[in-house]
Structure 1
Amino acid sequence: MSSRPMHRARMHTLACLAAAASVVAAVAVLPTDADAVTARPAPSAATPTVSGPVPGPIPAQSPALGSQVSSITPAALAAFGYTQQEFFVSGMANAYDFTAAPTSDGRWAVAAVPGSQAAYRTRIEVMAPNDKHAFSGTVVVEWDNVTGGFSSLPDFVYDHDQPLEAGDIYVAVTAQFVGVQNAKLNNPKRYGSLVQPGDSYSYDIFSQAGMAVRADYRQLFDGLQPRSVLADGESQSADRLATYVDAFAGRDNVYDGYLLHSRAATGTPLQEAPGTAMVAVGPDGELTPTSLPNGNTGLVDVPVPAIQRIRSDLAQPVLLAQTESDVYGPPNGWLGYGPATQPDSADFRLWEIAGAAHADDCVTNVCASDTGNVASAIARFDDMLNPPSSFGGFLDCDSPINTGQGGYVMEAALAQLARWVETGGVGTGVPANSAPLFAGQHVGEGPNTVAQLDSQGNIIGGVRTPAVDVPVATETGVATNTPLLCVAAGTSTPLTAATLRRLYPTHQEFVTRWVIDTLRLAHEGYLTPRAATNLIAAAARSSNP
């Protein structure tokens, strides 16, 4: 472990994130030397072979969509002083069996000896600061999302302002079969040597990628040694991480903390029999099976429970962030997470984000080019006043999509998870906030729970933002849009001019209420200092009402 003191930008963030004076005092006396915190369990997964960097620019994994819904733009990356490189990692990946039937509490036991083994070679992306002195010591590793049939980084799009401002290194791992196959089909010259033996092996591939981050930092990060390594995943990647956490987090001890965003009530199988690969987004926006086999051979399906919770006996903290779309079940919702809702524990926190949708305007339209400045915040604010119906520029939804501020909350979630780990982790560190659930939502509730709404149609309870506390629109995660993918985008309905005049007789009154709410939420730790500053500036420069 490095003995480098905690980076000053991170220290500033930690102080600003304190939710009460007692927490601020606790942070002030915590050690800043990484060697002084409680020792973490030693990682035990295999270390793969790293090759690269691969010469030439990294091609967009979706040629038709470019980086708009796959990652942030090169200009946004450069604005933060970061450079992107690609590497290949290879080795022998394992698929494992349970030693007993998996239970809903997530306390799963996995065999010590793999059920099968196969060779793999996949790609990882590394986004690192050009200034070595800016490195915070934290590396965030996102599990590529492949629902669209290609590798994408939705959480990097959502929350990149926070890790890039803090000086973190960000790594993306193509762990799944369809992501590798798409890369090979679209660019055989660059990716023809890649091999992914099937998604049953994806969990061990993700462990080994984390080991590469730890062991090969000289090659991957030009000598910058990580102090802590965090895992991140959104949507289908969060489902896979839920299974990874329950089956492998305490077994392999590769990652120091986990951020799961928008997961379903269940995870994904530990092993998958031969069959069809992941669903993918068709040209009409529907989710359809790909024509590719899933790569698995000689394996038998090992299902997980329909209601799967995150185990509560880990040495590593887990923060789960859920939107309205995720919590409330069909026919009005998206993933129906409600029945899997669980209480906070020593190693677990659940945040339910009010006014947020599974795949909103931020991730589909505006945040890929967000450079963390006031202009970017103004663009996001303006979309609340005039919400688009476009989903990523390739689908037109029946109604305007959600333009709430879930992305800002995800920045705070990542910052609080990093603080939790950096100050000692489970038991000794400063944990992430225990947040209120949506009003009327309770642990283990059924899928047909009805959201409780205020007079403007915004949900009551949960982690709040100025968008729902000082609204200019009704922001919900619920939609009946078509095509099907638009259901994940939620709905935004601007308040009428008459309603805005009634709520805010003058522009100054609106700004005052917005500023007070923003500062309160930043003090509570649900907005980062940068986000709060930009949100205040955006409201002040708006013409509302």
Structure 2
Amino acid sequence: MATDRVQPDVQGPIDGLRPPWGVPRADPEPFGYRVEEYQLSGVAACYQQSTDHPAAHVEVEELGTAPYRTRLLVIRPADPTKFNHTVLLNWQNVSAGHESWAPSEGELYQGYAWVGVSAQEVGLFGPPVGMGRGARAGAMGLVDEDPERYGMLRHPGDPGSFDIFADAARVVGPGRSTDIDPLAGLDVHHVIAVGGSQSAMRLVAYANALHHRHRVIDGYALSVWEGRAPDLMDGPISYGGGRTAIREDLGVPVVVVNSEFETLALHATGAVDSEWIRYWEVAGTPHGVTRRPELPHGRGWEPNTLRFKPVAESALRHLRRWVAEGRPAPSFPRIAVDPGRPLRIQRDAHGNAVGGIRLPELEAP
């Protein structure tokens, strides 16, 4: 079943007694940036994927549609002449039971516009019963955090999240035509989809199944991706679905920056660099950096404060050049894995992983 597409609508900027939830913890104004919030409304389709094709080459059938109203958090250069013509369209992570905060530093503030998309139901309404893994006690969605500001938001459920994200790309992309422009007239040339961890899994599902259908994304910047993607009909309790690779015929660049934590999971998919895809693995780094290394971890893991972020920032610069100028990102050695079962990371005499991208803290502690 296919339907005539209803054009999305944008409202805003949204005002309130309190600032938008999840704004950068550091004021971006000294960097020449402005923060605004908009609401996006439209009609989202949900899709059923065929089981007759390999996971990385999904064919889909539209099952139905439902209305939605969500939010866009926009961080953009105040001076249009400082804009580098690239929008980073971030799939807001909701693993904690609420949305992640917007970045306060980094490559974003070198001329990009950043748009956080509240694509998933948890971001609006908080964690459902059964979403125990990762969800923080007392986590609340936007509607409960600030009913005055967000009380009118509505969501059709996570099967509609992929169409919501595509609509967000349309209203911030080069061909946008809504009456209200969330980017205030910035000259956009490219839209790069950004997501880490659970959000990276959702973006891989989108890329494999819907990228060619929508054609609104010019590149993908993924991080700490565990080689999984959910089914298009999965709800918020699902944490990634089955093993899958990224399809190699997207025709747009993809750069995946992983920590050491994801090495074995990604290795099991057989993923290797190809014409449009690069996999960068940063030895010695964790999936997430602990903020309180003195506290014991509930799963018995050793605390680790080494950050892969400098590599991710470099990857974003390379990805933008690849998208805008056709200069492919470089390839790097992967973390070495011993053959056999179970898979094991090769380690040196100090217990550190062999291979991968090496940070100074690992090479010269």
The reply to whether TM is greater than 0.5 is: yes
Question: In the alignment, is the contact (CA less than 8 A) between 1:122 and 1:175 conserved in 2?
Answer: yes
Q: Distance in 1 between matches of 2:29 and 2:288?
A: 25
Question: In the alignment, is the contact (CA less than 8 A) between 1:45 and 1:254 conserved in 2?
Answer: no
* CA 116–450 in structure 1, closer or farther in 2 if over 3 Å, else same: same
Equivalent in 206, 211, 220 of residue 249 of structure 1: 211
TM-score (norm. length: structure 2): 0.86
- How many Å apart are 1:405 and its aligned residue? 3.3
Which residue does 2:138 correspond to in 1?
Answer: none
Q: Distance in 1 between matches of 2:232 and 2:299?
A: 35
| 1:351 and 2:280 matched | yes
Q: Distance in 1 between matches of 2:68 and 2:86?
A: 27
Q: How does 1:262-301 map to 2 (within 5 A)?
A: 262-272=224-234, 277-278=236-237
Q: Which structure 1 residue ranges, 4+ long, deviate > 6 Å from structure 2?
A: 395-400
Equivalent in 248, 270, 293 of residue 388 of structure 1: 293
* CA 220–126 in structure 1, closer or farther in 2 if over 3 Å, else same: same
- How many Å apart are 1:84 and its aligned residue? 0.9
* CA 47–352 in structure 1, closer or farther in 2 if over 3 Å, else same: farther
Which residue does 1:414 correspond to in 2?
Answer: 316
For 1:37-84, what per-residue CA distance to the aligned partner results, in whole angstroms no more than 9, with x for missing partners? Answer: xxxxxxx976410000101353435xxxxxxxxx63133x23422111
Q: Distance in 2 between matches of 1:73 and 1:357?
A: 23
* CA 452–358 in structure 1, closer or farther in 2 if over 3 Å, else same: same
| 1:48 and 2:4 matched | no
Higher RCO (C-alpha 8 Å, min separation 6): 1
- Code of the residue aligned with 1:196 in structure 2: it is H
Question: In the alignment, is the contact (CA less than 8 A) between 2:283 and 2:354 conserved in 1?
Answer: yes
For 1:434-491, what per-residue CA distance to the aligned partner results, in whole angstroms no more than 9, with x for missing partners? Answer: 111112368xx86x322222333322211121121212xxxxxxxxxxxxxxxxxxxx
- Code of the residue aligned with 1:107 in structure 2: it is H
- Code of the residue aligned with 1:467 in structure 2: it is E
* CA 319–439 in structure 1, closer or farther in 2 if over 3 Å, else same: same
Q: Distance in 1 between matches of 2:307 and 2:145?
A: 34
Q: Distance in 1 between matches of 2:364 and 2:316?
A: 24
| 1:93 and 2:44 matched | yes
- Code of the residue aligned with 1:195 in structure 2: it is R
Equivalent in 106, 117, 126 of residue 161 of structure 1: 106
- How many Å apart are 1:97 and its aligned residue? 2.1
- Code of the residue aligned with 1:116 in structure 2: it is G
Q: Distance in 2 between matches of 1:263 and 1:241?
A: 10
Q: How does 1:190-205 map to 2 (within 5 A)?
A: 190-205=149-164
> Kindly, what percent of the aligned residue pairs are identical?
33
Question: In the alignment, is the contact (CA less than 8 A) between 2:143 and 2:151 conserved in 1?
Answer: yes
* CA 441–122 in structure 1, closer or farther in 2 if over 3 Å, else same: farther
- Code of the residue aligned with 1:461 in structure 2: it is G
- How many Å apart are 1:389 and its aligned residue? 3.0
* CA 126–441 in structure 1, closer or farther in 2 if over 3 Å, else same: farther
* CA 108–59 in structure 1, closer or farther in 2 if over 3 Å, else same: same
- Code of the residue aligned with 1:344 in structure 2: it is D
Question: In the alignment, is the contact (CA less than 8 A) between 2:71 and 2:118 conserved in 1?
Answer: yes
Residue aligned with 1:125, SS: strand
* CA 84–397 in structure 1, closer or farther in 2 if over 3 Å, else same: farther
Question: In the alignment, is the contact (CA less than 8 A) between 2:263 and 2:335 conserved in 1?
Answer: no
- How many Å apart are 1:344 and its aligned residue? 1.1
Equivalent in 36, 49, 60 of residue 110 of structure 1: 60
Residue aligned with 1:456, SS: coil
Equivalent in 128, 141, 146 of residue 187 of structure 1: 146
| 1:175 and 2:119 matched | yes
Question: In the alignment, is the contact (CA less than 8 A) between 2:219 and 2:319 conserved in 1?
Answer: yes
Residue aligned with 1:119, SS: strand
* CA 126–116 in structure 1, closer or farther in 2 if over 3 Å, else same: same
Q: Distance in 1 between matches of 2:355 and 2:321?
A: 25
Which residue does 1:451 correspond to in 2?
Answer: 345
Which residue does 1:147 correspond to in 2?
Answer: 95
Q: Distance in 2 between matches of 1:270 and 1:418?
A: 28
- How many Å apart are 1:397 and its aligned residue? 8.8
Structure exhibiting the larger radius of gyration computed from Cα positions: 1
Question: In the alignment, is the contact (CA less than 8 A) between 1:146 and 1:278 conserved in 2?
Answer: no
| 1:74 and 2:26 matched | yes
- Code of the residue aligned with 1:454 in structure 2: it is D
* CA 437–51 in structure 1, closer or farther in 2 if over 3 Å, else same: same
Equivalent in 21, 34, 55 of residue 83 of structure 1: 34
- How many Å apart are 1:267 and its aligned residue? 0.4
Q: Distance in 2 between matches of 1:91 and 1:460?
A: 49
- Code of the residue aligned with 2:207 in structure 1: it is V
Structure 2 spans left out of the alignment, 5+ residues: 126-140
Residue aligned with 1:83, SS: strand
Which residue does 1:310 correspond to in 2?
Answer: 246
Q: Distance in 2 between matches of 1:397 and 1:60?
A: 30
Residue aligned with 1:175, SS: coil
For 1:464-520, what per-residue CA distance to the aligned partner results, in whole angstroms no more than 9, with x for missing partners? Answer: 21121212xxxxxxxxxxxxxxxxxxxxxxxxxxxxxxxxxxxxxxxxxxxxxxxxx
Which residue does 1:462 correspond to in 2?
Answer: 356
Q: Distance in 2 between matches of 1:45 and 1:321?
A: 35
Which residue does 1:206 correspond to in 2?
Answer: 165
- Code of the residue aligned with 2:81 in structure 1: it is H
TM-score (norm. length: structure 1): 0.59
Q: Distance in 2 between matches of 1:72 and 1:401?
A: 25
Which residue does 1:120 correspond to in 2?
Answer: 68
* Higher normalized strand content (fraction of residues): 2
Equivalent in 273, 285, 289 of residue 360 of structure 1: 289
* CA 441–421 in structure 1, closer or farther in 2 if over 3 Å, else same: farther
Q: Distance in 2 between matches of 1:398 and 1:151?
A: 26
Which residue does 1:60 correspond to in 2?
Answer: 21
Q: Distance in 1 between matches of 2:109 and 2:159?
A: 32
RMSD (Å) for aligned C-alpha atoms: 2.6
- How many Å apart are 1:325 and its aligned residue? 1.1
Question: In the alignment, is the contact (CA less than 8 A) between 1:178 and 1:278 conserved in 2?
Answer: no
Residue aligned with 1:325, SS: helix
- Code of the residue aligned with 2:149 in structure 1: it is R
* CA 397–174 in structure 1, closer or farther in 2 if over 3 Å, else same: same
Q: Distance in 2 between matches of 1:421 and 1:83?
A: 25
Q: Distance in 1 between matches of 2:7 and 2:362?
A: 46
* CA 463–45 in structure 1, closer or farther in 2 if over 3 Å, else same: farther
